[in-house]
Amino acid sequence: MAGRGPTQGRIVVETDGQVSVVSLHGEHDFSSRPRLEALVATLLEQSRGVVIDLGEAEFLNVPVLGALRRAADLAVEEHKGFAVSLPAGGSWSVRRLFEVTAAQDLFPVVESVDEGVALVEQPAGDR
């Protein structure tokens, strides 16, 4: 059943100078955390905010949630926008991780990248 096998974690960035979208593909754990944290910190400096897209993420664990939480805290400190997009069709285990850990209490969780971009583009006081 090749379709159920793991896919090595990949991080893809798209930016228009205003909002950066960071897409996590495949599996992510400790190994992704340093790169993800450094990348988001840099993108927050360079743009109005960051949207993390988990639509292609097959697996995340608690250390990655920790990295997302730190990214959200950094965005607040720098008065930038931050959101995590977890679409309905995303990985079952990622959705379950978010549900059990109440991840929506740690950072804003939306259902699409468009919704995330709209949230990040709002003035800080309106988010």
Partner 1 sequence: MRREVDIQLTLAARADELPGVRQMIRAIGRTLHVDEELEGHMLLAVDEACANVVAHAYSPDHPDALMHVRAHTQADEVVFVVSDQGSPITTGKSPGAGMGLSLIRAISDAFEIEGPGDDGTRLTIHFRLPT
Site residues (CB under 8 A) for partner 1?
1, 4-6, 8, 27, 29-31, 59, 61-63, 65-66, 92-93, 96-97, 100-101
CA distance 85 to 22: 10
Which residue type is seen at 36? L
The residue among 5 and 125 lying less far from partner 1, judged by its C-beta, is 5
Q: Please, what is the minimum distance in Å from the beta carbon of residue 4 to partner 1?
A: 6
DSSP symbols for 72-85: HHHHHHTT-EEEEE
The residue among 100 and 125 lying less far from partner 1, judged by its C-beta, is 100
* Pair type for strands 19-28 and 49-53: parallel
The residue among 26 and 112 lying less far from partner 1, judged by its C-beta, is 26
Q: For 62, phi and psi rounded to 5 degrees?
A: -60, -40
Q: Please, what is the minimum distance in Å from the beta carbon of residue 74 to partner 1?
A: 17
